[in-house]
Every structure is written in C-alpha cells, then in structure tokens.
C-alpha cells in the first residue's frame, strides 16, 4: 500500500514538474498551429478567432501558391543554396576551428577575436561591399554568387572551436605518436568526435540559408534564380491574403521540419554536450 502511495506521490510531483514545460510547449506550438490552420482557410476574409478552429479545411491557398509555374523551381534553388552551403560551411568551419582550437601559431588569439568582432558589424553595412565584390566577379544571378559570401560563417566557426577545444590533447598526441599525419589526424581522430556539433550546426546553417531573404533578394536578378522566400514574396501584394501568405509559410517551413526531425537525435546531443563543456 505504501509503495502505491509513494508512487502516486512521485507521479504527482512529476506532474507538477512537467506542467511548466507543458505550458511552454503549448505556447511554442501555438504559432505553428495558427500558421497551419489559417493556411487551410478559404478566401481573403477571416473572422478571428473562429478561423482558428480546425473545421472547414480548404486547400485553395496551397493551390494558389503551387499554381505558379516557378514555385517548384524556387524550391529546388533554395534546396541547392541551403544544402551546398551547409556542406561547405561545415567543411570550412571545421578546418578553421581545428586550427584555432588545437594549433599554436603567431597571432592566433588576435585573429580569432578579430573574427568574432565582425559579428558586431550590422549586416546592412557589409551588404553593398559584398554586392560589389560579387558583381565584379560576375556572380550576380548565379548559384555560386549566392553561396560564396555566406561560407565564412563566424558563428559556426566559434561553436566548432568551442567543441573541438573539449577534445583531449592527449588523444591527438597519442595519434600523432602512432604516426598519424595531419590530414589523418583531423579526418580520423578529430572529425568523428564532432558529429553532434556538426549535426547541430547543420540544422542551424540549413535554417539560416533556407530562410535567408535579403542576400538572395539583392543577388538574384531574374525570377528563374529566385529562392523560395524571394519568389513567394514577389507574388504577394502589400495587402495579400493572409491564407495564401500562411500557405507559403507552411511550404517554406516543411523542409526545415524534415531536416530537424532527421537530425534531432544529434541536435539534442550536440546542444547538451556544448552546454556541458
């Protein structure tokens, strides 16, 4: 009897402990719920809060968005921009982070802190020089012109460096004593240790690129080269219907959700380990 009572008390305590989490979870989910439900409404006029009840589902707004011949092309452009960027950003960030974390060279700290200081510069101030640079290299309206300026990602470098610093020097030294060269050392010893942070960064970098608007807006010149955010915006008048806007938002959001679901296991581990170190 005692055991049952103890279990019951424990369950009650757990319930109270989980209640705030449940409230936060619901609050987080509400915007997504609103986005999805409003995307399933019909017409321009919405009567809130009635329109938030999940009845009278209508896919007209999705049909409106997808009816545009170029939407699929914009999705492919966005996928190419995001996936290629993720791969290259991770490659460059991990190389640089390894050097900053484990190598000794003149001016290492000064270089690193200078790089970090660039995070303080508002993006708008670098936009024009970046545009002129890419323009002079004939990169406007090209996929590489979109990707190249985003590759030196200081935030990714910082997170990777912090993670790699946590890898014991002894491990690297042992491999070196065993005859591993620099490339093998990085490829077979360091990189496998960084899988969680690579997955975490992969999600973040994918998200940044998938949602990126301003750089693709100024760097692309023709609708054939638009990414999804720019393309969908170019279809909307200033007083566009909320339902179509929401349908566009859902279509933009789905791939991000998919990436998150696929990498969730690594993502949580990466965040946890980064927090502990």
Partner 1 sequence: MRVRAMAAALVAGVLAVTASACSSGSDAKVPSDPSKVSGTVTMWIYPINEKIENTWWKSRIAAFEKKYSKVNVKVVVQPWANRDEQLTTAIAGGKGPDVVYLIPDQIPQYANTGALADVSDVVAKDKGDFRQNALAAMTYQDKLYGVPMLMSVTATVANKKVLAKAGIDAPPATWDEALADGAKLKKKGLYLTDYVASPDATLNQTFYPLLWQAGGTVLSPDGKKAAFNSPAGVKALTFVKTLVDRGYVPKDSLTVTPKPDQSVLCTGKAAFGFASATAEVTICPGYQASDWQVAAPLQESKSVSYGTVGGLSVLSGSKNAAAAKAWVQWISSPSQLKQFDLDHGYSSTRTSQGSLLADQPLVGESEKYLGDMKTGVTNAAAPRQLMDVIKPHLQAALLGKVSVKQALADAEKDANKQLARG
- Interface with partner 1 (CB under 8 A): 44-48, 68, 122, 124-125, 127-128, 131-132, 135, 140, 213-214, 217-218, 221-223, 230, 233-242
CB of 9 to partner 1, least distance (A): 45
CB of 231 to partner 1, least distance (A): 9
Closer residue to partner 1 in complex, CB, 17/69: 69
Counting beta carbons within 10 angstroms of the beta carbon of residue 60, is it exposed (0 to 12), middle (13 to 18) or buried (19 or more)? middle
DSSP state letter for 50: G
Closer residue to partner 1 in complex, CB, 46/84: 46
Would you state the structure tokens that stand for residue 132, as one six-digit string? 């002129």
CB of 224 to partner 1, least distance (A): 10
DSSP state letter for 150: G
In the numeric block, the tokens 């054939």 are attached to 224
Closer residue to partner 1 in complex, CB, 162/233: 233
The DSSP code sequence of 117-135 is HGGGS-HHHHHHHHHHHHH
Residues 143 and 80: beta-carbon distance below 8 Å: yes
Closer residue to partner 1 in complex, CB, 129/168: 129
CB of 219 to partner 1, least distance (A): 9
CB of 132 to partner 1, least distance (A): 5
Closer residue to partner 1 in complex, CB, 125/177: 125
Closer residue to partner 1 in complex, CB, 111/140: 140
Would you state the structure tokens that stand for residue 84, as one six-digit string? 């290629």
CB of 35 to partner 1, least distance (A): 14
Would you state the structure tokens that stand for residue 187, as one six-digit string? 């490829």
The DSSP code sequence of 37-74 is HHHTS-SS---TTGGGSS-S---HHHHHHHTSTTHHHH
In the numeric block, the tokens 């970090």 are attached to 116
CB of 46 to partner 1, least distance (A): 6
Closer residue to partner 1 in complex, CB, 216/255: 216
* Residue 160 neighbours by CB under 8 Å, 6+ apart: 93, 94, 96, 97, 98, 101, 194, 197, 201
């Amino acid at each position: 009897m005692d055991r049952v009572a103890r279990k019951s008390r424990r369950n009650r305590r757990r319930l109270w402990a989980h209640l705030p989490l449940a409230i936060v979870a619901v609050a987080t989910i509400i915007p997504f719920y609103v986005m999805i439900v409003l995307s399933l409404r019909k017409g321009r006029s919405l009567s809130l809060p009635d329109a938030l009840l999940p009845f009278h589902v209508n896919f007209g707004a999705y049909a409106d968005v997808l009816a545009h011949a170029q939407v699929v092309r914009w999705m492919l452009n966005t996928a190419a921009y995001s996936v290629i960027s993720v791969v290259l950003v991770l490659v460059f960030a991990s190389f640089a982070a390894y050097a900053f974390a484990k190598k000794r060279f003149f001016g290492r700290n000064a270089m690193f802190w200078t790089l970090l200081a660039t995070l303080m510069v508002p993006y708008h101030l670098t936009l024009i020089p970046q545009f002129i640079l890419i323009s002079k290299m004939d990169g406007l309206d090209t996929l590489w012109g979109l990707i190249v300026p985003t590759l030196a990602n200081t935030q990714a470098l910082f997170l990777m460096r912090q993670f790699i610093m946590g890898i014991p020097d002894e491990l690297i030294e042992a491999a070196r004593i065993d005859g591993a060269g620099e490339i093998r050392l990085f490829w077979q010893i360091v990189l496998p240790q960084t899988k969680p942070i690579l997955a975490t960064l992969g999600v973040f970098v994918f998200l940044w690129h998938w949602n990126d608007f301003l750089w693709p807006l100024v760097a692309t010149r023709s609708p054939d080269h638009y990414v999804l955010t720019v393309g969908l915006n170019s279809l909307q008048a200033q007083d566009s219907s909320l339902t179509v806007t929401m349908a566009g938002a859902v279509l933009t959001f789905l791939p991000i959700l998919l990436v998150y679901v696929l990498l969730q296991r690594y993502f949580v581990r990466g965040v946890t380990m980064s927090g502990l170190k």
